[in-house]
Structure 1
Amino acid sequence: MAYMCGSYSSGDCIPSSEPVQYPLLDIKPQLAATSYELDCERDPSPPGPKLLAELDIPGNWSGKGQHVEFARDEAIPLEQGTLLGRGSFADVYEVKCRGLSMARKQIYCTRRMKIADVKRELDILKKLSHKHVVTLLGSYTQNNQNNILGLLLHPVAVCDLGVLLDELDENQNLAWADCSEDFKKLMERLGFRDDRHKMRERLARVYGCLANAIQYLHNSDIRHKDIKPQNILLDRNDGLHVTDFGLSRDITDASSSATDGNVRGTYKYCAPEVAMLEPRGRAADIYSLGCVFLEINTVHRRLSLGAFENFRTRYNDRSYQNNPQKIQEWMSKLRQIRIDNVDSGIFDIVDIIERMVSPIAKDRPAIGDICSSLYLLGDLIYFGKCCPSRRYQDVVDRSTKLEHECEILRAQYDTEMSIIRKDWTERMDEIRWSHECEKAILVEEHRSEMDSMTKRL
C-alpha cells in the first residue's frame, strides 16, 4: 500500500487509492559524493526548535502553556486537517496552530490504555532533542467521554520507511514512463522529481542517519522498544525522524539496563528475548534495527521483500526471530549480489547486519560500534549531509586548521615583508645620501682644481 503522509501511531496509515512505484538505479560512489555536495545547498525544513521559537513556547501554542488541561466542552485551538494515521488507541491528524503545520497524535485512554501509561511517551519526548527524533511542540489532556491525551509533534513527514520499502519492492524495475502519477508526485515531494538515482542514494543514507538517532537515544538512556519501518518518518533533504515512543523506557535511574518485560512491541521485529518475555536491554533495540537494515538491504540488492517473508516464514510465523537459520541463508544470498555502490571492499554491510540479528543478545554490537563500522565502510554514502562521517569531519577540521595556519603564515609574511621594505627603504636612503655626499665632494674638488688651474694661467 502507498501512504501519502507519515504515521505517528502504532497502527496502519490511511492508504491512497493507487500504488506508487519506485524504480531503482545503481549507486555510483563518485556520484554519491557529488550529490552530497549538491544536497548541502538545499535549505533544510524548519527544525523543531525553530518552530518552538515561533510559537514562543513555553506559554503560547494555546495561550495557556505548553501542556494544557482542557475542560470537557472546551474548544482546542487547532485547525484539523488530513488524517495521517490511525491505530487501536490513537488517531493522527495534520493540524495547524497559528498557521504552523504539525502532527497531532490524539490518544484515547481506556482501561487497557491508561492515561498514566501514555504519559510515559510524553515524558520521554520532553527529554529528547535531536535532528532525527520527532520534536514535541506541546501537549494537552481533555476530559470527555474518554480521557484524551494529545501530543503535538514535528514534522508532518512525507512518508514512512515502510511505505518507501514496499513501493520500491513492487516497482523498482519499472521504466519511468510506466510509473504512476502518485509515485511521481511523491518523488517530487521527497525532492527527487524524476531523479530515481538520487532516490536510491537517499535509501542508502537511511542506514547512518537512523543509526545516529538510535545512538542518541541509547546515550540518553532511552530504549525505543518498537523499532520498525513504520516508526521511521522520511522527509525532504535527508529528513529522518524516529517516532512513536509509547513503549519506550527511560533507564536513567534503573539499576540495570536490562529489564523484565511483558510488552513485546511489534512481534515481527522483536528480539528473541523479547518474544520469550525474558529480560532485555539495549541489545533488543539492536536486533530490531538489524531487521530494518536487512529489509533496506534486500530492496537495495533488488531482491523481493515478499519472497524474503515467504522464505523465512515457519508455521505461519513471519517474525524474524522465529527462523534464524533462514535469516542466515538469506544473508548469504545478499552477499552474492554485488551492487555497484558504496562498499569499500573492507567488508560487506551484511556483515554488520549479521551481528545485529544474532539470536544471542550479548553477541550483538553496541550502537556506537555500528556507527563506526558504517563510517568505515561507506564514508559519506551511508550518512546524510546532516550526519557527516568522521573522516569527512577530519578533513573539514584539517582544512580549517590549515586555513588558520595559512592566515598566521600570511600575517608573518606581511610583517616580515614590511620590515624588509622598511630596511630596504632606509638602506636606499643611506646609499642615496652617501652618493650625494660623494658627488658634492667630487664637485667641490673639481671646482677647486679648476680654480687653481685658472690662477696659474
Structure 2
Amino acid sequence: MENTPSELVEYHDRKDLPFQTGEDIGRGTFATVYEAKKPAGEYIYAAKVFYLPITETDQELQKGRIKQEAHLISKAQHQHAVSLIATYIFNNKIYIIMEPLADQNLEKYLYDTIGELRTEERQSRQLQLLSWYGCLTSGLAYLHSQYIRHRDIKPQNILIQGDRILLTDFGISNDDPGNTIKTATSTIGTRVYKAPEWKEMGTGYARPGRAGDVYSLGAVFLDMLLVYAGQDLAVVCDQKGRHLPYREHTSEWVSQLQGSCQELRENVYWFSTILFLCQRMLEQDPDARPHIGEVELCWSYGPFEVVPASRCDCHVATQIYKAMGADEVLDQATINGHNLVQDLMSQRDFMVD
C-alpha cells in the first residue's frame, strides 16, 4: 500500500528509499535542495533535505510539526502552488519531495532581468512579470481558502518553471536565522518582507494571520513593479545593495514612487494601478489591508481589465462579472460591494456618475 504524502515514514535501509537524490541544486543554512527521481523513473522532482535536531525532544517536536503541516500542504492542489509528493526520514535527515523542479526562483529572475543587456529580451521578461501578479494572487487566495497561511512569502520562496510561477515553502521552511524570526510555534517569517505586526521579541505572542501574507505579497509585488518599470531595486536597498525591510520604509518608498508616478504613468502601462494596489496591501494596520479574496476580485471582471491579465487560465473560474467597459465595471462593483475594485477604477480616473 502506497504511503500518502503527509505520512512521515522512517526508513532504515537505503535500498528501501522511494526516491534517489542526485545533483545539489541549492544550499541554505539548514537545508539543501537536490534533484530526485523514483528508482525506475525519469521524471525529476525537487528534494529538500535537512537534518533533524540533536535532542530527542526537539526531534519529536519537529516530526510532529512536519506531520501536521504536511497534511495541510498535501491538500494544496493549485497550478501556482508546488505539490507535496512525500515526506520521510532516513539517516537522521528529513526529506521533503515536491514537484515541479523549478528552473529558478523569483529573486534570480528579477536580478537577471535587471542585468539583461538585450533590449528585446529584457522587455519580454518585464512583460512576463506583469502577467504574474494575477497568478500569485490566485495562488495565495487558494491557500487561504484551504486554511493554509504561508507566513514566509518572499522572492526566494516563489519558483519559476518556464512561464509558470509557483508559491513554495508554505508551512515547512527553515531559513537563515540572521534573516528570520521564530514564533512560539516555530513558524518562520522573513525580515525583509515580513509585516509590521511581526514583533522583534520573545515567544508567547499572537502570530500574524492572513493579513501578514497579504503584506508580504504586496512587498514582493513592489519589487516586481520596480523591475517591470525598469527602475531596478536600488530604491529599496542600502548603499551596499542589501534589501531594506519593508516595514520600516514602505511609506517612504511609496511616496518616492508616487512622486515620479506621472512620468511613469505616461511611459509604463499599469504602473500607477499596481502601485496603488501595493499601497493598499502594504498598509501598516493589518485591518486596513484588503483580504486576498478582495484582491483576487480585481481579476474577476472581463473582458474589460481592471488589472493586468494573467497569461494562464488561473482566473477563468473567477471571471464571473462580464463588463465591456469601465462604466459597467463600476456599476457592478458598486452593486456587489467590491470596494477595492471601485478604488482601483477611481485611481484610474474612472468615476461613478
TM-score range, shorter chain: 0.7 to 0.9
Letter in 1 for 2:276: D
Deviation at 1:199, TM superposition (A): 2.7
State the shift of 1:361 in Å. Answer: 0.6
Is 1:105 aligned to 2:48, yes or no? Answer: yes
Superposed displacement of residue 66, structure 1: 7.3
The answer on 1:330 being equivalent to 2:256 is yes
1:235 is displaced (CA, Å) by 1.2
The equivalent position to 1:370 in structure 2, one of 282, 295, 298, is 295
Given residue 387 of structure 1, which amino acid in structure 2 is its aligned partner? C
1:299 is the counterpart of 2:227: yes
Select which of 103, 127, 143 maps to 1:201.
127
Q: State how 1:166-245 maps to structure 2 within 5 Å.
A: 166-171=111-116, 174-175=117-118, 196-236=122-162, 238-245=163-170
Unaligned runs of 5+ in 2: 174-182, 323-353
CA distance in 2: counterparts of 1:69 and 1:196, whole angstroms? 47
Q: Distance in 2 between matches of 1:107 and 1:388?
A: 36
Question: Which residue of structure 1 lines up, in the alignment, with residue 347 of structure 2?
Answer: none
> Contact (CA 8 Å) 2:19, 2:36: kept in 1 or not?
yes
Q: Which has the higher strand share?
A: 2
- Candidates 153, 160, 163, aligned match of 2:108: 163
Find the aligned partners of 1:394 and 1:153 in 2 and give their Cα distance: 36
Amino acid at match of 1:91: T
**1:182 is matched with which residue?**
none
Identity of aligned residues (%): 30
Give the Cα separation in 2 of the matches to 1:220 and 1:109: 28
Distance in 2 (CA, whole Å) between partners of 1:61 and 1:74 is: 20
Alignment deviations for residues 83-107 of structure 1 (CA, whole Å, 9 cap, x no partner): 1212222211012212211111112
Report the alpha carbon displacement of residue 70 of structure 1 after superposing the two structures with TM. 0.9
Which amino acid is 1:239 matched to? R
Amino acid at match of 2:246: Y
In the alignment, which of 191, 203, 206 is matched to residue 267 of structure 1?
Answer: 191
Match of 1:152 among 77, 82, 97: 97
1:16-415 correspondence runs (5 A): 59=2, 68-71=9-12, 74=15, 76-97=17-38, 98-111=41-54, 114-142=62-90, 144=91, 147-171=92-116, 174-175=117-118, 196-236=122-162, 238-246=163-171, 263-276=187-200, 279=206, 280-310=208-238, 318-333=244-259, 335-336=261-262, 337-338=264-265, 340=267, 342-343=269-270, 348-375=273-300, 378=305, 381-388=308-315
The two structures have a TM-score, normalised by structure 1, of: 0.58
- Please report how far the alpha carbon of residue 352 of structure 1 lies from its aligned counterpart in structure 2 after TM superposition: 1.1
- For residues 365-416 of structure 1, the C-alpha deviation after alignment (integer angstroms, 9 at most, x for no partner) is 0001112225558458431222245796667xxxxxxxxxxxxxxxxxxxxx
Could you tell me how far 1:61 is from its partner in structure 2? 11
Distance change in 2, residues 1:150/1:356 (3 Å): same
Contact 2:193 2:246 in 1 (8 A): yes
Partners of 1:378 and 1:302 lie apart in 2 by 23
Using the alignment, how far apart are the partners of 1:383 and 1:275 within structure 2? 35
Please give the TM-score of this superposition, normalised by the length of structure 2: 0.73
> More helix by proportion, 1 or 2?
1
Report the Cα distance in structure 2 between the residues aligned to 1:333 and 1:297, rounded to whole angstroms: 15
Q: State the Cα RMSD in Å.
A: 3.4
Give me the whole-angstrom Cα distance separating, in 1, the residues matched to 2:244 and 2:307: 34
Check 1:370–1:339 CA distance in 2 against 1; reply closer, same or farther (3 A cut).
farther
SS in 2 for 1:128: coil
CA distance in 1: counterparts of 2:231 and 2:245, whole angstroms: 18
Q: Specify which structure has the bigger relative contact order, considering alpha-carbon pairs within 8 angstroms and separated by 6 or more residues.
A: 1
Letter in 2 for 1:361: P
Q: What is the CA-CA distance between 1:148 and the residue it aligns to? A: 1.7
User: Secondary structure of 2:170's partner?
Assistant: coil
Any conservation in 2 of the 1:379–1:391 contact (CA below 8 Å)? no
Does the CA contact (< 8 Å) of 2:79 and 2:314 recur in 1? no
